[in-house]
């Protein structure tokens, strides 16, 4: 009754009630927010990452600037010409309870244009995982069945047929051979070979939520994966061995990983209040936060 009838309460109580309501909304947002895995490097050594508000650029000299303003994107892609791609996913509020999105492209000179303007719903026909020829790959769910789609540069769309059913996948990456796909499914990491064979590479001890997130296949065939719940980055070898690469500090959780051309390891990290930071670990072990 006290909550339903605030007009009977003192101003101090109303202030406390308002504070509680805002706090609950923040907790709800923090609990349902979906960390981004967008973290890429261009041919000039510039690193781009998303904090779900803007897309940021870190130049080789360490200067941080906004590359794409007001873009709520979870994934990023960069092509052979250093064009950067992402989306802007917008929730239209609880009254409408619907989403819309657009797909944008940023050219190396900083010009941002839309590949697709405002479209209703979620993206289901465009992939941010692509090979050097420009073939796109993405995860598609149809009638509770998880599928993998691809589009070749000439526009042909097809469905990849694995040799066994796919679980509900979370994130996707393409190996350096341009034929092997890697995917996380909550607490598991899979390899999907060109012939459709699926191999389980890693199983997380905690089978909940987004335990395993960003994937970075290295040129030597090993795979780096961000273990969000475990607060670690692990390296998975072709023989199945797993080694610890780094561990994040308390209250920080890795969502994306990138091994740069100069050997530096980059991580996107979130904390429990959805603050986002970028970490660079140089080959000599020195750490810098952005």
| CA-to-CA dists, residue 140 to 145, 152, 169, angstroms | 8, 16, 9
83-134 pLDDT per residue, tens: 999 999 999 988 889 999 999 999 999 999 999 999 999 998 899 999 989 9
202-241 pLDDT per residue, tens: 887 655 555 899 999 999 999 999 999 899 999 999 888 9
| Nearest-angstrom CA–CA distance, 281 and 155 | 39
| Nearest-angstrom CA–CA distance, 36 and 50 | 6
Short-list 170, 172, 165, CA closest to 131:
172
What's the mean pLDDT in 261-289? Answer: 95
Residue 116, classified by CB atoms within 10 Å of its CB into exposed (0-12), middle (13-18) or buried (19+), is middle
CB atoms within 10 A of CB 155: 6
Give the 3-state secondary structure of residue 23. Answer: helix
Instruction: Indicate yes or no: pTM above 0.75.
Output: yes
Tokens of 240: 């199945």
Cβ atoms of residues 13 and 19 within 8 Å? no
């Amino acid at each position: 009754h006290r909550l339903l009838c605030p007009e009977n309460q003192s101003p101090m109580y109303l202030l406390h009630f308002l504070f509680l309501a805002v706090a609950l909304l923040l907790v709800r947002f923090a609990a349902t927010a979906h960390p981004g895995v967008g973290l890429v490097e261009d041919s000039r050594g510039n690193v781009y990452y998303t904090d779900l508000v803007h897309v940021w650029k870190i130049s080789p000299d360490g200067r941080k600037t906004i590359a794409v303003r007001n873009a709520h994107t979870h994934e990023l892609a960069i092509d052979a010409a250093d064009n950067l791609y992402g989306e802007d996913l917008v929730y239209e509020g609880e009254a409408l309870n619907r989403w819309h999105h657009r797909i944008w492209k940023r050219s190396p000179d900083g010009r941002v244009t839309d590949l697709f303007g405002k479209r209703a719903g979620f993206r289901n026909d465009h992939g941010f995982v692509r090979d050097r020829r420009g073939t796109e790959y993405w995860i598609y769910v149809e009638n509770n069945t998880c599928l993998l789609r691809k589009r070749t540069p000439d526009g042909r769309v097809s469905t990849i047929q694995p040799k066994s059913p796919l679980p509900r996948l979370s994130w996707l990456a393409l190996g350096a051979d341009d034929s092997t796909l890697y995917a996380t499914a909550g607490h598991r990491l899979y390899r999907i070979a060109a012939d459709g064979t699926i191999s389980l590479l890693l199983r997380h001890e905690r089978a909940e939520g987004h335990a395993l997130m960003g994937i970075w296949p290295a040129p030597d065939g090993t795979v780096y994966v961000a273990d969000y719940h475990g607060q670690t980055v692990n390296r998975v070898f072709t023989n199945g061995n797993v080694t610890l690469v780094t561990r994040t500090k308390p209250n920080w959780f890795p969502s994306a990983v990138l091994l740069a051309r100069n050997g530096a390891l980059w991580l996107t990290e979130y904390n429990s209040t959805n603050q986002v930071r970028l970490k660079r670990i140089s080959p000599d072990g020195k750490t810098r936060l952005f």
